[in-house]
Amino acid sequence: MLTQADRAAERRREKMKEIARQVKDGSLRIRKMTRDERRRYPAVPPKARRK
């Protein structure tokens, strides 16, 4: 029986494989953000983890 974390990890692996496939066949392009985009959409600080 898989745990919730195991199932989530498996879903993430499948999503990453799909992204890699799309990049390879050219249907998805990953690019750097421009300076203007960075100014408009700044990085969001990570949420504090619960203890």
Could you give the number of structural domains in the chain? 1
In a domain, 2, yes or no: yes
Average pLDDT of 12-24? 98
In a domain, 47, yes or no: no
Q: Is 42 part of a structural domain of the chain?
A: no
Q: What is the pLDDT of residue 34?
A: 97
Read off the pLDDT of each residue in 12-36 and give the average, rounded to a whole number. 97
Which residue carries 């998805």 as its tokens?
A: 28
Whether the pTM exceeds 0.85: the reply is no
In a 13 Å sphere around the CA of 25, the CA atoms on its Cβ side amount to: 6
The parent domain of residue 20 ranges over: 1-30
**Whole-number Å distance between alpha carbons of 32 and 19:** 16
Question: What value does the mean pLDDT take over residues 7-27?
Answer: 98
The pLDDT score that the predictor gives to residue 15 is 98
Q: How far apart are CA 17 and CA 10, in angstroms?
A: 11
